Structure 1
Amino acid sequence: MAKPKASKGLALDALFSQVKSEKQFTEAYTLRDELESRLIAMRQQTTSHPLGNPVLELAHDLSERLAAGDLSVDILSQLVQYLSVEAFGDRAKRVSDYVGVESIADNKSRLSELFKALAFDDADTQISFEAFKDKLEREAFGIVITAHPTFGLSKELYQALAQFTANESSDGQALDAKAIEILNQLVIGSSHEPDQGIDLLAEHGQAMEAIASIQQALREVYDVALAVAEELYPEKWTELSPRVLSVASWVGYDLDGRTDITWATTLHTRMKVQVIQLGYYISKLNEIIAVHKGEKDELETTLALIKSRVTLALHVAEKETEFFSDNNASEEALKDVSRSIVTDDGARLVHTAELIEAINRALNLTDKADLKRSLIILRSEIANYGLAASHMHVRLNSAQLHNAIRKNIGMEGEPDDPGRRRGNFRALSGLLDEVEPIRINFGSLSAEHTTAKRMFMLIAQMIKYVDASRPIRFLIAECDTPFTILTALYYAKLFGVDDLLDISPLFETGTALERGSEVIAELLENEHYRAYVEKRGRLCIQTGFSDAGRYLGQVSASLAIERLHMKLARLLADYNVRGVEVVIFDTHGESMGRGAHPLSFNDRLKYVSSPMTRLLFAENNIPLKQEVSFQGGDGYLYFGTPKLALTTVTRLLEHALGKSTADDKDAFYTNTDYSLDFFLTLKDFHENTLENKDYAALLGSFSTNLLYQTGSRKSKRQHDKHHGIDRGHPSQIRAIPHNAILQQLGYLANTAGGFGTAIASDLDAFVKLHGESDRVRRFMDMVSYAKGLSSLNTPEAYAALFNPRYWLAKAYAVKHTERARDQLRLSNLVGDTQRYDGMNRMLQIFRQDAIHLHRGLDALTADGQEKVFPFDTRRRINLIILHVVRLCLIQEIFLLAMRIPAFANRDDLTLEDLIQDIIAMEIPAALEELKATFPVHEGKTVFTAEEYGEPSDYSDDEARDYSDEHKNIFEPIEELYDLCRRISVGISNSIGAHG
């Protein structure tokens, strides 16, 4: 199939043109060019001055120009805004090229070509309608919408980003001059930052908008599929209900590491999704009725009856949804609504069969092809989505399941403790042997305090009273033992939901990925699990590129996941598992560190699920469904306009339904000795990095304090139990903030790191392998791209801020000024050299590795191989300038902190404590304390003789007004800190995603 056409980017051209012509940016633009020239000149001197750091030197120079009055914060703010707008526009251009944005008509033409190809075998003979129907009614691919905290821009700016990307408005209209002008004003005039205080409700609202856009794209897909079927199978096409792609969501249902989502919140969210979908079905029925008014009486009556049935169900759902929106409803109120739900008079819709049957009756009452097609598309949607806008994924942590079962079997310690493992499994198998479903109600659900059991009870109630037409996925995080899955199976049987529940372990740690195939093998030997899987007809697993990338490094994680995929295919063949579809949910995000290949959408999908993996499943006749996640605001971007959404869906279907391009002679898979050694070296590098206390020091230098809050989920994991957890360990920082910290420090270590070490072991073998392996070229493109966005000079410059010697050198240079005194004092307060030395040791490891990586990349070029990922120099320069400006601002914040007046220690709070908070960039908390300690008084309180009977001349010292401190210290710190965080957004846009 031909490659997508490059976008014209007319709106983007206007944006770039306008931002360069804005008078407010004249000085900023001049400063940017000056900094670029100086940076290039300094880099050219590296060979003669190898100890120099151009990033630090430029930041120092800006800082001194600020102090001398030769530069203002206003100009730096304008520079940040200019670079942010340019990064925003560049990002839109890259996304457009990345996904290959095309018109609705062009995408439909590609889909038509794809579906026609499915109707013919390798000998170019048309297959039977039944075989064609099986292909199109099977869900070959799945989209999962999640609410990971990647809402790095405001909703308005995300909408503008999507519109620039697709060159159309959110409702699909071409952008005219007026619309472009409005978008330009928004992007140029707005502060580039997330919406404040984003919560689960806001996340869910944006998720539902993305899902609605996907549904609209799927209507176009179904229309094309039916057109192809009508052309090739004119006698039977109306029997087709295409599905091809599923849409699921866990927004509001993901309890892994969260303690802030109640059972009522989850139920309300699910009911709300049903209300939305039933309303959608009514709107589509109204469209059909309006267009075909005046048809046969029987047909009009049938359509009206379908609409009435859905409307009645909607009224019931709306009433119950409203009740469960209140998390604080009384027990008596819960009893009332529970009785109302249970004694329903038949108005409720839980199954889709009656709607589909009614649509089939309507189909038989008309000969009009356009009406038939409209009805079949609606039938397909009902068959695909069920009675909610998306399928439901719930997620718990394995520890929550272990805690639930512990008392039932007398389990002490962990399930796989060597001395007790057999006993634990034997006890659990005994429960499975005898389990019988029990009855529950909303009262017993509300009274249950064990998270895992409460979730199964809630699932039972949702199947009974919300939607029993589509299965629910039960995802289990941090799962590395079959005991966890069997525990989930026990509770699924206990609460009577095993017929509609797909239990899915998440393999994301190094241990879990190594043991994943062994876990599945042991499960297949268990009669209860084997029977369950065969009855369901599906075996589901989830892999986590984000967390695995944190533990193992991104590329070594992808290789470990690929090995698991392949082992699973061979395992199912060895165990002779037949009639069972394998569903692999490859959870990954929009950044390289979380598994998104930067070259193209096609490369991204092949990186996550390699052609060799797909070939292996096909050769063993094992049906495979791949699912991928689109995470938070950065992920929803791909569905921001109709054209963009259809393009994205088309790319997914081309990947899932197109012919495999696997090369079984790829040297990565044939030269297994070298490939395995390479993988193990890479994996060891990252595992050692994660356990290195110096890496913790590097991540903890500013932690997440340079970042805005980008979602409702906490940056660090929340736990039901806190004992035995090292909260300072990098593993306790979630994957997205972990990646975001690396982005903000300027070195994408978990993507670019480790390769130099792996390459250095045998450079010639690496060059040869790269030339003979599509798989290696693909991940090396990613590595070189990440290296192009990284410069070790940048984290070394940040580390220097914690080096007392740096501040002493600065003080020496300016001699006897007040600024020198502040710098001398600061040299004592940045701490002893332990923190700096730890950061420096870690950066030396990265530097040694990077030297070998550069040699490896140079060797590829010298060998005549295609240059590895040509890079945009201006983009890299802009990225470094953003870091330079922020390094300057942080220095000014540190020096302003030296001017904070002394105060009496109180409540274990000292001035040094607050200064240390500021040095760690914990600015909001520090300023809150400072403003309370040094209050502003509007005027002195006068205690008059008229009020108290005698005059008073006393003035309370504590009532002193600290307006000057606020104006000259606290407010400037706040302004500079806000600018630092705005820079963080510019950096994220330059890289392409948050975290």
Structure 2
Amino acid sequence: MAKLDVLDGRALDELRNRLKGEEKFTPARALRDDLETRLVAMRQDTVNHPLGNPVLELAHDLSEKLSSGQISMANLQELIQILSAEAFADRAERVGQYVGLADQDENRARLASLFKSLAYDDGDTLVPFEEFSRRVEREAMGIVITAHPTFGLSQEHYQALAQFAADETLGGQALEASDLERLSKLVIEQSHEPDQKINLLAEHGQAQKAIESIQQAMRGVYDVVLSIAAELYPENWTELTPRVLTIASWVGYDLDGRTDISWADTLHTRMKVQVAQLKYYAAALNTISGDLDNDHDELATTLALVKSRVTLALHVAEKETAFFSSEYATGDELSEVSRRIVEDDGSRLVHTVELIDALNRSVALTNDLSVKRALIILRSEVANYGLATSHMHVRLNAAQLHNAVRKSIGMEGEPDDPGRRRGNFRALSGLLDDVKPVRINFGSLAAENTTAKRMFMLLAQMIKYVDASAPIRFLIAECDTPFTILTALYYARLFGVDDVLDISPLFETGTALERGSEVIAELLENEHYRAYVKKRGRLCIQTGFSDAGRYLGQVSASLAIERLHMKLARLMADQKLSGVEVVIFDTHGESIGRGAHPVSFADRLKYVSSPMTRSLFAKNRIPLKHEVSFQGGDGYLYFGTPKLAMTTLTRLLEHALGTPQADEEDAFYTNTDYSLDFFLSLKSFHETTLENRDYAALLGSFSTNLLYQTGSRKSKRQHEKHHGIDRGHPSQIRAIPHNAILQQLGYLANTAGGFGTAISRDLDAFVKLHGESDRVRRFMDMVSYAKGLSSLNTPEAYAALFNPRYWLAKAYAVKHTLRAEDQLRLSELVADTGRYDGMSRMLQTFRRDAISLHRGLDALSADGQEKVFPFDTRRRINLIILHVVRLCLIQEIFLLAMRIPPFATRNDLTLDDLIQDILAMEIPAAIAELKATFPVYQVQTHFDEGDYGEPSEYRDNENRDYSKEHRSIFGPIEELYDLCRRISVAVSNSIGAHG
């Protein structure tokens, strides 16, 4: 697939040159080159010695050299640092290539061409202004900023990554020599790791920086629209209020699987973004006023009044935000603030109507085209964003809604229980028949204990007192029954927010994706839901590529999602809901395993929203709005500099506003028998894998313990109920850490896995299909990319650490030494874990599948069809070397654990228990226990007679100072563990994202 041209990477060249020229890294570079030479030779020799594992053999050799003093820990630290810096530089280069980085002039030219095409039908017939206006004032695309835990680098390193990728400063200026010096030093000399203990407040701050960057780029987009409109519609262009793209955020509002965000936290977050946007509006009005000449007295007066109105509202918002940022009281203090809020004297600003009216008057008061344009751009921003920096997405889990309504309808069990389903549905419809809005206040909100009802009450208060001008999306996770959506509609009406709220089910489980269109069809038969959709003018759904990718496999999930999209297009056409827009929010992530196609940004968008799907909506004349997520630090990167932000927006708009080029003869859609068999085989492989206890053993070998904390959300799911949950099941690990574990084990199973099995059923048919289908080639590009980033030798090497035979063999090689004794003891302890057999069985399954995948990829090559391996040999070698070094470090941690002194059982913790924690790499907790058990001080046992009134002759001769153990065991284990996690960051950078 063709790639967009990229700018020359002057900054990256400088970084790489500096890295090569660092003399202190000379020994580390020599070690890296030696490891590469030996790795290549060993891999070539596997033809003659197929049972050998080059990764494990190199790790063993490195470990023995470290033990004998042939290499030092300093050598390994320097090796890790240069490999980390190289991975960082490679990632920066790929970011630029991925988005098709372009300078501002080229982006503006591409946008001008795009918007001009919207003004013509059939390429040469100018459409009426009203039609052009409809096309550019409609929000065809949406960005959703989320705070999933993908803050895998520090904010400072993310900023450096963006600047190296774009070859510009954060402010958009050319990088100077001093900038390059500072940034290169950061990358080359400082360890690569996330900010410590990142919390929701820090995530929100980074999210707002990304949103600010998007808003800045959007002003450039509006300017291009107005330039084209002024050229083609000189009499009417000032009437335009272009929108084209929305910005939304759920950072601070996503309660799915979280119990650590209070209603006051959510309200405070929303108030903060209102304050930020009002400040921006005031500053924009100031700038426009400052540019006026003396002929604009009336306009200056009007703008002064508008600014005064905004400033007054800003003061109110700031005071209330300050209250909810503190430890708010549920008693007198909350009552007092609530009374002040309710008794507003008119200073509060909740609707944008008066601002837009004032800006309309202002546009008519000037003939200065530059002033008109500035006012129209500001009018577009007010119309688009409302009174906050972005639209608001809240998210709950379906179970939270079910728990809320359970007593009201006497529901027992789950809503879809056989025998009760119809009764539950009728009872809920009965509630909707009679529901009347109820008034609430902050007291009733604070007193409510049910999460779902509390959220609706909070939204009601927000609409009354914060912002009623922008729609709010109400996302429902794990939604696979119409009952759930109707429950949300009932509470929306009960609390009077249904006029502003867009209820959106999230379909991401296998069941939900299969039933999604049936759920919507059943809902549209319900008079309450149908009336609601017609009144709102839109029907919203969310499809998730992350959990779906975990449950079904990434590609089979995308195909299931595509089928759901197509079924929905046909359903809407059959229902004849004219004028109702369909909004599809595709929550994919930034990694391959979460649906970020690795070849280009254009491929990424076509992967999640295929040309065939979009053409089907267009053919049926159903307005479609496509929304995509940008998640955490990895996602915000695409808006890190002005050039990156503008390029990203340009690619999004080219996708959303361009005509989808769908091949009606694409064999994937015409040869449905084979396509369906292929999909079912792939889906079955991943569903079977997820339920396999051996897969749980593989994931649980180190679990998330090789990872830094990369966000405020817990890796394990939080539940409002605790019974009936298998907490050892892979589904209880969130999608991002699940994928991150696979990355760190070296095999991207949820993307590359299963394809060999599916292909092997009919290899010739697959090769033929690949040649005749753009859709198949696109997902196979992703599979071959994932395979290229994977090596089954790597997880097999990690599994070997739990194989008693491995440690026995090592002990035999170094007989009659202290190290051999440690290895003999370790062989017994790893046998006790029982991990190896399960891991080995799972990896054998993956190996069989991978052999078939190799055959399939080789058959494509033999047929002249290109495979996509988007990296050079050095990048792949570096990735394997990172694993080799970490395997060496883990072995040293295991062996150091054998030297922990015996101790009496403490807090029900035995020495063997503690060592098992270390074998699982639960190092921080284990070291904390060790430091408490073996303190670094001498306990005083002799006290003078003068102190206590009687003599003491007792002397304790036992030495209780364990400083030696701290120096020789505990401290080194901590140091080795930190290096292991630093390698994890380098692995993530090599792959392109965390999890």
Q: Relative to structure 1, is the Cα distance of residues 285 and 3 closer, same or farther in structure 2, using a 3 angstrom cutoff?
A: farther
Displacement after TM superposition at 1:945 (Å): 3.8
| Cα distance in 2 between the residues matched to 1:868 and 1:191 | 32
Q: What corresponds to 2:964 in structure 1? A: 964
Q: Which SS does the other structure have where 1:52 is aligned?
A: coil
Whether 2:586 is the aligned partner of 1:586: answer: yes
| Cα distance in 2 between the residues matched to 1:279 and 1:955 | 71
Match for 1:266: what amino acid?
Answer: T
Displacement after TM superposition at 1:834 (Å): 3.3
| Cα distance in 2 between the residues matched to 1:468 and 1:328 | 24
Equivalences for 1:797-876 in 2 at 5 Å?
Answer: 797-832=797-832, 834-876=834-876
| Cα distance in 2 between the residues matched to 1:462 and 1:620 | 37
Match for 1:472: what amino acid?
Answer: I
Equivalences for 1:603-618 in 2 at 5 Å?
Answer: 603-618=603-618
Whether 2:789 is the aligned partner of 1:789: answer: yes
Displacement after TM superposition at 1:953 (Å): 4.9
Displacement after TM superposition at 1:958 (Å): 7.1
Equivalences for 1:739-750 in 2 at 5 Å?
Answer: 739-750=739-750
Displacement after TM superposition at 1:425 (Å): 0.4
Structure 1: gaps of 5 or more residues: none
Question: Contact 1:265–1:327 (CA<8 Å) still a contact in 2?
Answer: no
Match for 1:578: what amino acid?
Answer: S
TM-score (norm 1): 0.99
Percent identity between matched residues is 79
Question: Contact 2:11–2:180 (CA<8 Å) still a contact in 1?
Answer: yes
Question: Contact 1:293–1:300 (CA<8 Å) still a contact in 2?
Answer: no
Equivalences for 1:609-688 in 2 at 5 Å?
Answer: 609-688=609-688
Q: Relative to structure 1, is the Cα distance of residues 677 and 702 closer, same or farther in structure 2, using a 3 angstrom cutoff?
A: same
Match for 2:479: what amino acid?
Answer: C
| Cα distance in 1 between the residues matched to 2:867 and 2:359 | 57
Displacement after TM superposition at 1:951 (Å): 5.2
TM-score (norm 2): 0.99
Whether 2:459 is the aligned partner of 1:459: answer: yes
Q: What corresponds to 1:893 in structure 2? A: 893
Deviations 1:353-412 (A, max 9, x none): 000000111111110000000000000000000000000000000000000000000000
Q: What corresponds to 1:234 in structure 2? A: 234
Question: Contact 2:938–2:960 (CA<8 Å) still a contact in 1?
Answer: no
Deviations 1:607-664 (A, max 9, x none): 0000000000001000000000000000000000011100000100011111211111
Question: Contact 2:137–2:240 (CA<8 Å) still a contact in 1?
Answer: yes
| Cα distance in 1 between the residues matched to 2:178 and 2:670 | 58
Match for 1:133: what amino acid?
Answer: S
Q: What corresponds to 1:182 in structure 2? A: 182
| Cα distance in 2 between the residues matched to 1:5 and 1:498 | 47
Match for 1:549: what amino acid?
Answer: G
Whether 2:146 is the aligned partner of 1:107: answer: no
Q: What corresponds to 1:194 in structure 2? A: 194
Q: Which SS does the other structure have where 1:349 is aligned?
A: coil
Match for 2:89: what amino acid?
Answer: G
Deviations 1:281-312 (A, max 9, x none): 11111111111143422111001001000000
Whether 2:70 is the aligned partner of 1:64: answer: no
Displacement after TM superposition at 1:331 (Å): 1.1
| Cα distance in 2 between the residues matched to 1:846 and 1:7 | 40
Q: What corresponds to 2:937 in structure 1? A: 937
- Superposition misfits of 4+ residues, deviation over 6 angstroms: none
Q: What corresponds to 2:977 in structure 1? A: 977
Match for 2:71: what amino acid?
Answer: L
Q: Which SS does the other structure have where 1:831 is aligned?
A: helix
Q: What corresponds to 2:398 in structure 1? A: 398
| Cα distance in 2 between the residues matched to 1:955 and 1:315 | 70
Match for 1:906: what amino acid?
Answer: R
Q: What corresponds to 1:428 in structure 2? A: 428
Match for 2:491: what amino acid?
Answer: Y
| Cα distance in 2 between the residues matched to 1:295 and 1:123 | 42
| Cα distance in 2 between the residues matched to 1:136 and 1:945 | 92
Displacement after TM superposition at 1:941 (Å): 6.7
| Cα distance in 2 between the residues matched to 1:762 and 1:74 | 53
Displacement after TM superposition at 1:6 (Å): 1.5
Question: Contact 1:264–1:327 (CA<8 Å) still a contact in 2?
Answer: no
Question: Contact 1:553–1:750 (CA<8 Å) still a contact in 2?
Answer: yes
| Cα distance in 2 between the residues matched to 1:987 and 1:954 | 58
Q: What corresponds to 1:24 in structure 2? A: 24
Q: What corresponds to 2:505 in structure 1? A: 505
CA RMSD of aligned residues (A): 1.2
Displacement after TM superposition at 1:993 (Å): 0.1
Q: Relative to structure 1, is the Cα distance of residues 809 and 308 closer, same or farther in structure 2, using a 3 angstrom cutoff?
A: same
Displacement after TM superposition at 1:906 (Å): 2.1
Question: Contact 1:592–1:786 (CA<8 Å) still a contact in 2?
Answer: yes
Match for 2:628: what amino acid?
Answer: V
Match for 1:91: what amino acid?
Answer: R
Q: What corresponds to 1:35 in structure 2? A: 35
Question: Contact 1:894–1:918 (CA<8 Å) still a contact in 2?
Answer: yes
Displacement after TM superposition at 1:808 (Å): 0.5
Deviations 1:296-338 (A, max 9, x none): 2211100100100000000000000001112442410000010
Match for 1:171: what amino acid?
Answer: G
Displacement after TM superposition at 1:942 (Å): 5.5
Question: Contact 1:752–1:783 (CA<8 Å) still a contact in 2?
Answer: yes
| Cα distance in 2 between the residues matched to 1:629 and 1:955 | 68
| Cα distance in 2 between the residues matched to 1:830 and 1:250 | 44
Q: What corresponds to 1:243 in structure 2? A: 243
| Cα distance in 1 between the residues matched to 2:746 and 2:906 | 38
Q: What corresponds to 2:281 in structure 1? A: 281
Deviations 1:681-740 (A, max 9, x none): 000000000000000000000000000000000001000001000000000000000000
Question: Contact 1:137–1:243 (CA<8 Å) still a contact in 2?
Answer: yes
Match for 1:445: what amino acid?
Answer: L
Whether 2:770 is the aligned partner of 1:770: answer: yes
Question: Contact 1:940–1:959 (CA<8 Å) still a contact in 2?
Answer: no
Question: Contact 2:942–2:954 (CA<8 Å) still a contact in 1?
Answer: no
| Cα distance in 2 between the residues matched to 1:471 and 1:145 | 16
Q: Relative to structure 1, is the Cα distance of residues 73 and 615 closer, same or farther in structure 2, using a 3 angstrom cutoff?
A: same
| Cα distance in 2 between the residues matched to 1:80 and 1:332 | 57
| Cα distance in 1 between the residues matched to 2:515 and 2:740 | 29
Question: Contact 1:294–1:300 (CA<8 Å) still a contact in 2?
Answer: no
Question: Contact 1:803–1:833 (CA<8 Å) still a contact in 2?
Answer: no
Q: Which SS does the other structure have where 1:170 is aligned?
A: coil
Q: Relative to structure 1, is the Cα distance of residues 488 and 959 closer, same or farther in structure 2, using a 3 angstrom cutoff?
A: farther
Q: What corresponds to 2:522 in structure 1? A: 522
Deviations 1:404-455 (A, max 9, x none): 0000000000000011001100100100011010110000000000000000
Whether 2:779 is the aligned partner of 1:779: answer: yes
| Cα distance in 2 between the residues matched to 1:184 and 1:523 | 57
Deviations 1:144-177 (A, max 9, x none): 0000000000000000000001000001110011
Q: What corresponds to 2:596 in structure 1? A: 596
Q: What corresponds to 1:87 in structure 2? A: 87
Deviations 1:832-882 (A, max 9, x none): 473211000000000000000000000000011223335421111000000
| Cα distance in 2 between the residues matched to 1:903 and 1:4 | 63
Deviations 1:913-951 (A, max 9, x none): 100000000000000000000000178575234433455
| Cα distance in 2 between the residues matched to 1:956 and 1:23 | 54
Deviations 1:762-791 (A, max 9, x none): 000000000000000000000000000000
Q: Which SS does the other structure have where 1:583 is aligned?
A: strand
Q: What is the count of residue pairs matched by the alignment?
A: 995
Q: Which SS does the other structure have where 1:139 is aligned?
A: coil
Whether 2:172 is the aligned partner of 1:165: answer: no
Q: What corresponds to 1:697 in structure 2? A: 697
| Cα distance in 1 between the residues matched to 2:832 and 2:843 | 18
Equivalences for 1:65-464 in 2 at 5 Å?
Answer: 65-464=65-464
Q: What corresponds to 1:916 in structure 2? A: 916
Deviations 1:42-63 (A, max 9, x none): 0101111000000000000000
